[in-house]
Structure 1
Amino acid sequence: MKRTALAASTALLLLPLTGCGGSAAAGDGKNVTITVGYQSKTINTVTAGTLLRSLGCFEKELNALHDGHTYKVDWQDYATGAPITAQMTAGKIDIGSMGDFPLLISAARGKQLGKPTRLVSVTGYNLRGGLNTIVTSPDSKLSSLADLKGKKVSTSVGSAADGTLVRALQRAGIDPDKGIEKLNQQPAVGASALSAGSADALSQFVAWPGLLAFQGKAKALYDGAELNLPTFHGVTAREDFAEQRPAVLEAFLKAQSEATDYLDAHPVAAAESVAEATGLPAEVVYLYNGAHGISTFDPALQPRLISALKQDVSILKTAKLTGDIDVDSFVDDRYVKKALGADYAQRLAATPPASASASASASASANEVWPKGSEKTVAFKSPAELLSYVARHKDGVRAAYVPDATTGTLWFADKAVWVADADRLLPFVAPATARAYVDGHGGARVITYAEALGRAS
């Protein structure tokens, strides 16, 4: 799924954006190439990958070092974290970004091979686990996790999405090893298997579930946020590289912070930029990376995320992918603390508690419409008000987003499961959460999207 266009020069990608300015460092002195491994289509890593590259922030920070070296950045794009880990332990990639489970595998393999890596920052996260989703084909009769028993489920073993699948099945009373037939596939292969009918369901990370739903090729079966366990992606660096070139690593982390600030300040422009660089629909990018998207971006190594990482170790050990992992020694916050200075403590303090994440995501402003031809979204106080607008502007809406009434996970309004409860219209990502709400609220019932639009208008 990698596009040849991603091999285009950084200079070309810099043209439409002004968030960081500058260009690759140039001057006299020893030439140094810094190799960065990233996943363009795993869009909650964009502040350490696609968007960072487009903005030119890293090149600008390297140019500002004035240390007698001429730096060149070699950006290498991968579909998953596994090849990045392999290249890092081989000494061929200096800095990489990947999900929480691949990060742990990186820690284990690095130690095993005597080429240790360190977790130095976070990119995108969701405190409830909403970055991962299990989907089925649009015409599937499967409506709950219990229906997966004996079915073929595609995932990428060792990924965060696999972790979500394992935990979700366990909670549903299904043995993740014997209760299903697990297909270990790359995301693009799994998506094709789902479309071809050779897989009954697909458990994957961003942006695959949203992309397939947007394209009409899948519907959500399980919202990862139901686990209420944090999931995130982060930046890892080779230990020897960090020790030999700490100023370069700090420059990268400063650049990541700049890209994060740009995304927060210009979410629509950032979504358009990432879409242009990756070929993903901008509407899908915004679902995850928008003002109230599923991903929250912050480079701070938050204690609750590190705690969640420790809980992930048992899943990998059971799958025999790793042994014990010393997470505390893997995490190294020295470089990001120095890079961000006083701002680092402020970022930690500003993070909402996990218990508030769902209600925060489900705030009134999270109901958003992206009108066609507009560079801004429009916020509404309730899902009903959003639906009323959509009903009146059916040909003028590029995308409409609503937060799940239970988990707060943002989803496309026309792909959500809708519930009518008296005069309230409530959206849900998956059928099971909608049914759970209906079962607990007398008189509430599931309705179609068309019925929801009719009621709102």
Structure 2
Amino acid sequence: MTRTALAAAVLATALTATLVTGCAGDANAGGSGTVTVTVGYQSKTINTVTAGTLLRGLGYFEQELRERGKRDGVTYKVRWQDYATGAPITAQMTAGKVDIGSMGDFPLLINAARGAQLNRPTRLVSVTGYNLRGGLNTVVTAPGSKLRTLKDLRGKKVSTSVGSAADGTLVRALERAGIDPREGVRKLNQQPSVGASALQSGSADALSQFVAWPGLLAFQGRAKALYDGAELNLPTFHGVTVREGFAKERPAVVEAFLRAQVRATEHLREKPGAAAESVAAATGLPAEVVYLYNGAQGIATFAPALKPALVDALKQDVPVLKSAGLVADVDVDAFVDDRYLKRVYGRTYAKALADRPPAPRGEVWLKDGTTRTFGSPAALLAAVADAGDAVRAAYVPDTTTGTPWFADKAVWVADGSELLPFVTPAAAGVYTAARPGARTVPYDRALREAS
């Protein structure tokens, strides 16, 4: 079954369920009146766009609620609230001021813990974007930095957002490098934008952040990658959480949101360039950066299903947050609630759970709006050299991890007749050390050798 056919089946199933069961009905949905649904999202955390920025722009949730309102005799209104990170969304949810929110895996666990602690439980109901190896988080340094590997961070100042997915990546990566994440570095707890300024001013030696900050800074020439989160080979994702009280009172609204998310996901898959332009216009991010993560060959895979691999990864995240003193414990099985998504998908949910993303390919985005994919880095380079100024952006998957990166920001290695890209100098160094004769080459030279 193709993705388009799957989405069509989902919508058909949802429509049938609506006609037959009324989507299980909302406890207080009958009669006249106005119901306002408040959605907390992170516009610049572009892994969440199918439950946030893109969804808001498409208006699908409002459409679903209008149809629901006709049956309920209720006027539904949506209030969208934009935040920089997941923490304030959790604060507003536990205060009863946000009904539906989207955030990364580590903030989701904090969301679950805070809700349980305050006896205002929340539930994880879907996934937005994910990467099965962890490539959505990256540690970057200033362009002129002499730091080349993660081990070089010992004793250095590293900016991150404590409790975020990027912080989790930093902690795990430092531990693997033999560095105590609490004592071995001077961690600066900063918002992403503050950390980016700290890196530029020199008050931070490195920045560990989540999508889209590393890609943005690299694209702007303000940073270079030091560590690719995919080296951890642990899934990372963003998801949708709802207040349990709200979901019990208005289950049909939750299902309407998830139907809208499925539609937004299919729109992104079918029209990735247009979706990137839409998100760019709404956020001020360059479309080329949005496409790096959300494009047809992007770092993120968008699929709402609560896949077992992602739930298992969430369980592995709990000890990291416990060791940092951010949570006491989290009952992940109780937090994950797929009943609403199952009703939306119907019989096709098993197919959605089993779906796996294909290996990324190199891709060139031309200024005329068209894209081309390539089976080898050399073929992509040759096409870029041939197209010249007609190229808007080119993306290549890392040779080791598969993480897509800007072709002109990648570290290129010539190995005989092969030209191989890497996100970081450290990864390229590991490769060349193991293969006599392999050498790093500048991007311009790689272009010349490929053409």
Normalising by structure 1, what TM-score? 0.91
2:393 paired with 1:388: no
Residue number in structure 2 paired with 1:397: 391
Shift of 1:394: 2.5
Residue number in structure 1 paired with 2:64: 61
Give the aligned residue type for 2:441.
Answer: I
2:438 paired with 1:444: yes
Tell me how far apart the structure 2 counterparts of residues 95 and 29 of structure 1 sit (CA, whole Å).
23
Q: Deviations over 1:129-175 (max 9, x none)?
A: 00000000000000000100000000000000000000000000001
Return structure 1 stretches of 4+ with deviation > 2 angstroms. Answer: none
Tell me how far apart the structure 1 counterparts of residues 48 and 236 of structure 2 sit (CA, whole Å).
13
2:411 paired with 1:406: no
Aligned match for 1:73, one of 52, 57, 78: 78
Q: Deviations over 1:87-128 (max 9, x none)?
A: 000000000000000000000000111111000000000000
2:89 paired with 1:95: no
Residue number in structure 2 paired with 1:249: 254
Shift of 1:381: 2.4
Residue number in structure 2 paired with 1:429: 423
Aligned match for 2:115, one of 110, 121, 128: 110
Shift of 1:346: 1.4
Residue number in structure 2 paired with 1:283: 288
Residue number in structure 2 paired with 1:83: 88
Give the 3-state SS of the residue equivalent to 1:407 in structure 2.
coil
Shift of 1:393: 2.7
Give the 3-state SS of the residue equivalent to 2:181 in structure 1.
coil
Tell me how far apart the structure 1 counterparts of residues 92 and 369 of structure 2 sit (CA, whole Å).
39
2:163 paired with 1:146: no
Residue number in structure 2 paired with 1:368: 363
The alignment's C-alpha RMSD in Å is: 1.1
How many residues align structurally? 420
Using the TM superposition, name which of 340-349 and 429-438 deviates more: 340-349
Shift of 1:208: 0.2
Q: Deviations over 1:224-252 (max 9, x none)?
A: 00000000000000000000000000000
Give the aligned residue type for 1:370.
Answer: W
Give the aligned residue type for 2:366.
Answer: P
Normalising by structure 2, what TM-score? 0.92
Identity of aligned residues (%): 73
After superposition, residues 33-52 of structure 1 pair within 5 angstroms as 33-52=36-55
2:142 paired with 1:129: no
Residue number in structure 2 paired with 1:6: none
Give the 3-state SS of the residue equivalent to 2:447 in structure 1.
helix
Tell me how far apart the structure 2 counterparts of residues 383 and 351 of structure 1 sit (CA, whole Å).
23
Tell me how far apart the structure 2 counterparts of residues 324 and 278 of structure 1 sit (CA, whole Å).
35
Q: Deviations over 1:355-401 (max 9, x none)?
A: xx6xx12xxxx2111111x2221122211111112222332211010
Give the aligned residue type for 2:67.
Answer: A
Give the 3-state SS of the residue equivalent to 2:329 in structure 1.
coil
Tell me how far apart the structure 2 counterparts of residues 342 and 434 of structure 1 sit (CA, whole Å).
45
Q: Deviations over 1:169-207 (max 9, x none)?
A: 000000100100000000000000000000000000000
Shift of 1:339: 1.5
Residue number in structure 1 paired with 2:20: none
Residue number in structure 1 paired with 2:354: 349
Residue number in structure 2 paired with 1:334: 339
Aligned match for 1:176, one of 175, 181, 186: 181
Tell me how far apart the structure 2 counterparts of residues 187 and 220 of structure 1 sit (CA, whole Å).
16
2:203 paired with 1:198: yes
Specify every segment of 5 or more residues in structure 1 that has no aligned partner in the other structure, as ranges. Answer: 1-27
Aligned match for 2:164, one of 145, 159, 166: 159
Give the 3-state SS of the residue equivalent to 2:408 in structure 1.
helix
Tell me how far apart the structure 2 counterparts of residues 227 and 64 of structure 1 sit (CA, whole Å).
44
2:190 paired with 1:188: no
Tell me how far apart the structure 1 counterparts of residues 355 and 379 of structure 2 sit (CA, whole Å).
30
Give the 3-state SS of the residue equivalent to 1:394 in structure 2.
helix
2:421 paired with 1:416: no
Give the 3-state SS of the residue equivalent to 2:72 in structure 1.
coil
Give the aligned residue type for 2:48.
Answer: T
Specify every segment of 5 or more residues in structure 2 that has no aligned partner in the other structure, as ranges. Answer: 1-30
Larger relative contact order, structure 1 or 2 (CA cutoff 8 Å, min sep 6): 2
Residue number in structure 2 paired with 1:7: none
Residue number in structure 2 paired with 1:239: 244
Give the 3-state SS of the residue equivalent to 2:237 in structure 1.
strand
